Chains A and B, each alone.
Chain A
Amino acid sequence: MTALPTHPRRHGFTLLEVLIAASMLAVVIVASLTGVISLQKSYSATEEYATELADQMRLLDFLALDLRRASAPPTMDNDGQGIQITVPDYYRFNASDPQHLFPIANGAVVNSDGSAAIYYDPAAPSVTTQTIAYRFNNGSITRADPWQPLVANGSGGYVSSGPVTIASNMDAFPTITPDTDVDTTGAVVRYNVTFHAIFQPLAVANQTNAITLHNVTFVRSKNLAH
């Protein structure tokens, strides 16, 4: 008897194997996708958190900077959505050299009642001031000051770049009030900056980052008005 020729047996995956493999792959894919999504969520949350924290620090730093040199306590806008901070105008834009601001002049005067004022411009013997404005609009806060970076106006001159957004994702304007516990003249200003930013882009209701930073600043140039 002649032996039947042997054919190499074709080994395939059994259905069961395929099902198992597919299941495992699905598990891996699902796990991976879940990890990616989680990582993306984590990335988004971290990014949002870090950005908002940076915004908070920036806003506090700007407010502290401007309030320290203010000549009077800040005034709140009528709609409660902004403040005006008056700052002595010691330095003035000079069109001949737009990259620098020059000291206006030097001089000081004591008024007849003994109060003092510093006039840096003898040609204009009065205290000149500039106003720095903070406004809240659509969750962002802008800051506009007369010493904003200058940009070319296209005709050889320079103009202020205008209000700059310094913080985003806020749900309200900061609380800025005189700290009457310390001082009744308004020279000490207390302010709280709270963010209730919603994580983006996976916005979920009530899933917010709410952090309040507190600061107290003494209005150091207030004596100028005394």
Chain B
Amino acid sequence: MIIVCVLSVVAGSLLLTTVARYHTTFQSASWQESIVAAEAGVDLAMNELRKRVVQGPSASFQTGWTTTSPATGKAYPGFGHAFPNGGQPYNLPAQPNLEGNTTTQTRVYLDVPGSDTAPSNFAVANDNSFISQLDNPNLRDADGVDRSRWWYRIRALGIAGVSGPPRPNIDKRDNRLRQISFFNDWRTGQSLASPQAARLVEIVARPLTNFRNALMADKTINLSNQDVLVDSYNSSQGYYSSTTNHGNMGNIATNGQLINASHATVDGDAMTNNGTVTNGDNITGQQSSNFYQELTPLTPGMLNPGWANVKDPGTLTTDATYTASTDATNPTMVHLDGINLPVGGHVVNLAAPAAASSSNGTSTPSYIKVYVQGDILTNGTSSISVANGVNAIIYFTGNVNLQGNGIINGTQLARNLVLNGVQPPANSDGTYPSRTINIATTQDFEGIVYAPNHDLTLALQTVAAGANATTAGNVTYTGTNPQIPFLISRINTTMTQVDALQSDYQTQLAKYDKNGDNGAFMKMQNDQLQINQQQTLISQLAFNVYQLGGTIISLTASQAADHAQGYNGIYGGFVSSTITVAQKTHVHYDETLRTAGPVNHYEIVNWFEDNASRDATGGTEQFWWPSASAR
């Protein structure tokens, strides 16, 4: 009998231990499933945020989601702009057939960790530059506010049922880690019909704009040769300088599998989507293969419906002038079937209003949008001229081929000229026709391109001795030297040669009409060296402008140095289907573009879990931890 008792005791202990551990396994499994449910809630909320970018505030949550109030009957407490249902949680339908024949539930809270009236804590929300505003007012909230640029906070509560009896684990450490609720929800105090594991994830999502990298392609990037350079600068610090305003954020990235760096110099990272970077020996940053950035196609439906009311039929083939508006919220709208400027010096002026001009050559900002439902072509000395101070956004559905002077951005800031490729109508088989953008000008190009459906080629024409001038416009001298502060050189000379031949160039400058008259291509007037586009003369003497004293405002020594070596510069950021950079093209990414432009999608910038909860009164958000006595 004694033996039987001993055996029974031992067997009983073994059974108890086994059952307890068996339940531990179930509790752990449910705890794991609850984080999956919470993460699913985060994913779906992120998806909803992205949906709003395209569909506007009318975008609804997933079918089957409900928005019942919390158990306390109170809206989610807080601070912040509840989005968009007054702070109530979204509830995902229960998912059955989990471990132990239990179910999971997901509850999602979505709000802004600021206030509706003071989102100023979130800097991105304050980027109200012209290029950051949505074209279509229907994409904004009913009150006209574009909330896509805000930072959002997502809290997702994943709940998984726990099979077995409502019995705590025999190890307190497991109880502290997993905090299974057996009879009452420890977050709300609400009684439970069956045990559950619940985990809360809190994330903050920041908006991402289109131009986060110097070059971003949906498919491939080809840098063609070792003369290509991609680097960065910060336009808020002035013009690009290879010595004083130069950065290493010239990142190149693709959603595809291939970047052919072709031994080009890339002062930045190279990123593929599970692909490879070939000939990347001159890439100074990291190379990685886990890149993906969703590219939202720019569809006609995302454009302002008001375009239909300003249609100007026909293709523009000769001179024209459109004057920008000083009202950024009501820009001038020009709607064309195409722009095709043949050789012959035709100029389409996107002009600043007279009131915006000033005597010193600077302008107050003015705004214009152009919608071209066709191609944009320039040749020879013909050009599209965006006046100094004008902010121009050009939408186009066709091909773009910029030859010769191309588009001249008078402000020389990339954000003042945006080229947006609109998705063309689909073919009968559902595919989209191929479109191209070719920027092969003899001028520098300052601008931004967003064209996910277009194949982009950046191949500025190499400037050779005797070729056309590489810049046009005014060079403003702000120093006090009464003497002419500039040297003019032939295009392929170096700075050393300039110094050696200084007197010779001064002589040549004198030959070209220092006082300015008779249509000379450059002249000094009111401390401004004006370089005009008298191509006949320019073609006889290509030139560079070097600074000898004072400050050159609109043409930097680095630009001149680039030109002197036969390089042309592209300043801005570029997004398209494929990207090819050829010739001796140097791409200088403007770092201020990282937060500019329309929001494309969102990125999780912090992740915290099992941290915050409502207290039992529905009041202050607090991190919950059991009292000392409960521990």
Contact = CB atoms under 8 A, between A and B. Distances in A.
A78 interface: no
B167 interface: no
Given A32-B3, A118-B606, A221-B606, A99 B595 contact: no
Contact of A58 (B123, B177, B627, B628): B177
Contact of A65 (B114, B236, B610): B610
B204 A108 contact: yes
Contacts of B290: 182-183, 185, 187
B7 A35 contact: yes
A73 interface: no
Contacts of A166: 173
Interface residues of A, number: 58
A112 B13 CA distance: 65
A166 B7 CA distance: 33
B286 interface: yes
A49 B82 CA distance: 49
A35 B14 CA distance: 14
Nearest to B17: A47
Interface string B438-481: 00000000000000000000000000000000000000000000
A23 interface: no
Nearest to A117: B605
Interface residues of B, number: 67
Given A39-B11, A185-B286, A69 B607 contact: yes
A190 B17 CA distance: 32
Contacts of B136: none
B606 A46 contact: no
Interface stretch (B219-227, B335-343, B483-491, B616-624): B616-624
Contacts of B507: none
B623 A118 contact: no
Interface string A50-79: 110110011001100100110100000000
A102 B622 contact: yes
B177 A61 contact: yes
B277 to A, nearest CB: 11
Nearest to B605: A223
Contact of A46 (B17, B212, B594): B17
Interface in B1-55: 3, 6-7, 10-11, 13-14, 17-18, 21, 24, 28, 31-32
A106 interface: yes
A107 interface: yes
B174 interface: yes
Nearest to A90: B608
A90 B611 contact: yes
Interface string B116-147: 00000111100000000000000000000000
Interface string A123-167: 000000000000000000000000101111000000000001110
Contacts of B288: 183-185
A21 to B, nearest CB: 17
Nearest to B2: A32
Interface in B248-285: 249
Contact of A54 (B13, B21, B80, B176): B21
A103 B123 contact: no
B606 A88 contact: yes
Nearest to B4: A32
A207 interface: no
Contacts of A118: 204, 605-606
A92 B11 CA distance: 49
Interface string B142-174: 000000000100000000000000000001011
A58 B28 CA distance: 9
A47 B17 CA distance: 7
A191 interface: no
A32 to B, nearest CB: 5
A65 B609 contact: yes
Contacts of B603: 223
Contact of A164 (B173, B591, B622): B173
A224 interface: yes
A113 B7 contact: no
Contacts of A182: 290
- Please name the 9 residue pairs, one residue from A and one from B, whose CB atoms are nearest each other, closest first: A114-B594, A220-B607, A101-B623, A50-B21, A107-B121, A110-B123, A100-B622, A106-B113, A43-B14
Interface of B: 3, 6-7, 10-11, 13-14, 17-18, 21, 24, 28, 31-32, 79-80, 113-114, 121-124, 151, 171, 173-174, 176-178, 203-204, 206, 212, 234, 236, 247, 249, 286-290, 591-592, 594-595, 603-612, 615, 620-628, 631
12 contacts: A32-B3, A46-B14, A57-B28, A61-B32, A68-B607, A100-B625, A102-B622, A108-B121, A108-B123, A114-B595, A116-B124, A185-B288
